[in-house]
């Protein structure tokens, strides 16, 4: 037996003796239990900024909340906002997690190696390797055993969570606190969870392929709760991930509040909590009401502003990646009280990673709603390696949404009934093949009536639509261009935004 083997055996034995009961962690807000808590899951330590002050939090995370496996939601850090560390050994979260640094600071650290460090690295590689190996093997075995021995379910310790949820704070206050002090990607995850768990569901307001949408109450205010069925865990995770992209918050993008996965023993409930807008979707709104010229410009301009913000890549520490929606339609846009749009349903969106010029997930060919698919998506000629292709496909769909809005515009006493795009050319729930024949082969587009020419606003809207519908994606307008044109129109027509 070599020395190393003896050491390993001893370490393994030690591991066996030390486990078998619950994991104990430091807990910043557990006065009653002398700042400790017990769990069957993990210890978590987290550091972030709140109102300019550094906040250190240490809590227990129950095993049931360690999902998805391998990359638990509660253990993720948010770049520049929140640094989180999960570990599985008693009191291992006693450490000081470093303050979140902004993106970019990382790149500097590699090149700042001085000669001393270099010498140290060259002089001691063997020693370092041995130590790392020993520690690694020790931790691995300890963790494995600790994990498999823990079966006991713990009653959640509620005292740990209420740290940042002073009784008098409203949701707006909370989000405001976070977005002014952090980088605007939202609430810390454990606050999200506490918010989600104190919502009282009121009534169901919609159903979709992923699950249901409910109206809920939190501290007297309305919130919307999208409940995913448990087999839609991936969609839930993806949508939460996209909404928490740094600097995504914008008045014309649905305001995200919280994501939560609640295990009630038999199944997991996956919640996505967002702002509630009583008008519902643009589709419902246009079915119910016609709009004035001013109303039309407001809807169109705000939708373009939201899409322009989504598409735009902002560089720098307070930046955001470019995002393409991929399922833009009137049912996925909400109408706010002030008559402006908020783009929602980001579950199919893709992000552009500009450093590597790649897309953050492997995009499958044809997702989204067939009726709104751009010609290049229908005939599969879209260049999926190129992020801009997805933006161009969004613009085509935006053009169709504009057509739906403009038809409902009441100018000189005339307006048309609500219809979906291509209502006269394809059946309801059309097949891809049926759409492809109409849009690609026959090159048909929704009808732009001649009488729109007699009203400046409708004329401009008609022109924008045509320039959104070109068969060649690259020839279409950009969201920013549309936003500028409509801003100009809103000034000419004296629309108050
Ligand atoms: C964590 O708990 C241990 C044991 O109670 C204690 O010795 C240690 O000081 C604690 N660490 C922090 C940072 O509070």
In angstroms, the CA 15 to CA 9 distance is: 10
Among 34, 44, 94, residue to substitute to test ligand 1 (most atoms within 8 Å of Cβ): 94
pLDDT score, position 57 = 87
Q: What is the pLDDT along the chain (497 residues), one digit of tens a residue?
A: 444 444 444 433 333 334 456 889 999 888 888 999 998 888 999 888 776 778 888 989 888 777 777 677 778 777 667 788 888 889 999 988 888 765 433 333 444 455 556 556 566 667 778 778 777 777 766 655 544 443 333 333 344 444 455 556 666 666 666 555 444 556 777 778 877 888 888 999 988 778 899 999 988 889 999 999 888 888 898 999 899 888 888 999 999 988 888 777 777 789 999 999 999 999 999 999 999 999 999 999 999 999 999 999 998 877 889 999 999 999 999 999 999 999 999 989 999 988 888 888 866 656 789 999 999 999 999 998 899 999 999 999 999 999 999 999 999 888 899 999 999 999 999 999 999 999 999 999 999 999 999 999 999 999 999 999 999 999 999 999 999 999 999 999 998 87
Is 3-94 assigned to CATH 2.10.60.10? yes
Ligand 1 pocket residue status of 244, Cβ below 6 Å: no
Query: Does the CA dihedral 133-135-136-142 come out positive or negative?
Result: positive
pLDDT score, position 213 = 93
Alpha carbon of 27 to ligand 1 centroid (Å): 9
Alpha carbon of 188 to ligand 1 centroid (Å): 23
Q: What is the DSSP string of 117-171?
A: HHHHHHHSHHHHHHHHHHHHHHHHHHHHHHHHH--PPPPP-GGGGGGG--TT--H
Name the superfamily (CATH) of residues 158-275: Phosphorylase Kinase; domain 1 (3.30.200.20)
DSSP 438: I
Ligand 1 pocket residue status of 24, Cβ below 6 Å: no
pLDDT score, position 78 = 72
Residue with CA closest to ligand 1 atom 10: 94
Ligand 1 pocket residue status of 33, Cβ below 6 Å: no
* Residue 320 annotated in ligand binding: no
181 is written with which tokens? Answer: 């002090």
- Closest atom of ligand 1 to CA, residue 96: 13
Alpha carbon of 359 to ligand 1 centroid (Å): 43
Ligand 1 pocket residue status of 94, Cβ below 6 Å: yes
Alpha carbon of 269 to ligand 1 centroid (Å): 34
Among 23, 25, 57, 91, residue to substitute to test ligand 1 (most atoms within 8 Å of Cβ): 91
Ligand 1 pocket residue status of 454, Cβ below 6 Å: no
3-state SS, one letter per residue, for 69-96: CCCCHHHCCECCCEEEEEECCCCHHHCC
Ligand 1 pocket residue status of 91, Cβ below 6 Å: yes
For the annotated catalytic residues, the residue numbers are: 327
Residue 31: half-sphere exposure toward Cβ, Cα within 13 Å: 2
Ligand 1 pocket residue status of 21, Cβ below 6 Å: no
Residue with CA closest to ligand 1 atom 12: 94
Single pTM value for the model: 0.66
In angstroms, the CA 87 to CA 90 distance is: 9
Is 282-492 assigned to CATH 3.40.190.10? no
SS3 439: helix
> What burial class does residue 171 get, using C-beta atoms within 10 Å of its C-beta: 0-12 exposed, 13-18 middle, 19+ buried?
buried
Residue with CA closest to ligand 1 atom 14: 94
Among 30, 35, 60, 89, residue to substitute to test ligand 1 (most atoms within 8 Å of Cβ): 35
Helix residue spans in 343-386 (DSSP H)? 375-378
pLDDT score, position 191 = 77
Alpha carbon of 87 to ligand 1 centroid (Å): 15
Nearest to 258 by CA among 245, 244, 276: 244
Cβ contacts of 252 within 8 Å, gap of 6 or more: 302, 303, 305, 306, 309, 340, 341, 342, 343
In angstroms, the CA 360 to CA 378 distance is: 23
Nearest to 400 by CA among 370, 427, 430: 370
Alpha carbon of 234 to ligand 1 centroid (Å): 37
Alpha carbon of 229 to ligand 1 centroid (Å): 40
247 is written with which tokens? Answer: 């600097």
Nearest to 422 by CA among 389, 390, 376, 375: 375
**Peptide bond before 239: cis, by omega within 30 degrees of 0?**
no
What region does 219 belong to: left with phi over 0, alpha with psi -120 to 50, or beta? left
- Closest atom of ligand 1 to CA, residue 28: 14
Residue with CA closest to ligand 1 atom 4: 91
Helix residue spans in 427-478 (DSSP H)? 432-436, 456-468
């Amino acid at each position: 037996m070599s020395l190393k083997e003896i050491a390993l055996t001893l370490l393994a034995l030690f591991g066996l003796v030390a486990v078998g009961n619950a994991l104990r962690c430091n807990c910043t807000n557990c006065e009653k239990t002398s700042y400790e808590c017990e769990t069957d899951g993990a210890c978590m330590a987290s550091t972030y900024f709140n109102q300019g002050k550094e906040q250190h939090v240490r809590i227990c995370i129950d095993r049931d909340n360690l999902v998805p496996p391998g990359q638990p939601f509660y253990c993720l850090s948010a770049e520049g906002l929140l640094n989180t560390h999960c570990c599985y050994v008693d009191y291992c979260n006693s450490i000081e997690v470093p303050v979140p640094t902004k993106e970019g600071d990382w790149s500097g650290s590699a090149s700042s190696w001085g000669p001393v460090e270099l010498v140290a690295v060259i002089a001691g590689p063997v020693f370092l390797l041995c130590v790392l190996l020993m520690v690694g093997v020790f931790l691995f075995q300890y963790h494995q055993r600790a994990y498999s021995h823990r079966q006991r379910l713990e009653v959640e310790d509620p005292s740990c969570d209420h740290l940042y949820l002073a009784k008098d704070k409203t949701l707006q206050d909370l989000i405001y606190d976070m977005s002014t002090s952090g980088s605007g990607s939202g609430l810390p995850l454990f606050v999200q969870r506490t918010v989600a768990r104190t919502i009282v569901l009121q009534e169901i307001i919609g159903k979709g392929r992923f699950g249901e949408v409910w109206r809920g109450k939190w501290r007297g205010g309305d919130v919307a709760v999208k409940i995913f069925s448990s087999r839609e865990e991936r969609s839930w995770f993806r949508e939460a991930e996209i909404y928490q992209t740094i600097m995504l918050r914008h008045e014309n993008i649905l305001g995200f509040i919280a994501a939560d996965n609640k295990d009630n023993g038999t199944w997991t409930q996956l919640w996505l909590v967002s702002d509630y807008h009583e008008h519902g979707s643009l589709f419902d709104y246009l079915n119910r009401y016609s709009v004035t010229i001013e109303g039309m410009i407001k809807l169109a301009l705000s939708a373009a502003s939201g899409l322009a913000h989504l598409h735009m890549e902002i560089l720098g520490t307070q930046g955001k990646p470019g995002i393409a929606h991929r399922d833009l339609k009137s049912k996925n846009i909400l109408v706010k009280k002030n008559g402006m749009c908020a783009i929602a349903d980001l579950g199919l969106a893709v992000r552009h990673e500009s450093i590597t010029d790649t897309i953050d997930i492997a995009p499958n060919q044809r997702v989204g709603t067939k009726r709104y698919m751009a010609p290049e998506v229908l005939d599969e000629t879209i260049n999926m390696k190129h992020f801009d292709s997805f933006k161009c496909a969004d613009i085509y769909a935006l053009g169709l949404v504009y057509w739906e809005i403009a038809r409902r515009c009441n100018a000189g006493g005339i307006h048309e009934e609500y219809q979906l795009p291509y209502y006269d050319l394809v059946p309801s729930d059309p097949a891809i093949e049926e759409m492809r024949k109409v849009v690609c082969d026959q090159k048909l587009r929704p009808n732009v009536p001649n009488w729109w020419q007699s009203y400046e606003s409708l004329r401009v809207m008609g022109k924008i639509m045509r320039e959104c519908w070109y068969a060649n994606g690259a020839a279409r307008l950009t969201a920013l261009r549309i936003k500028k044109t409509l801003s100009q129109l809103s000034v000419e027509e004296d629309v108050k935004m």
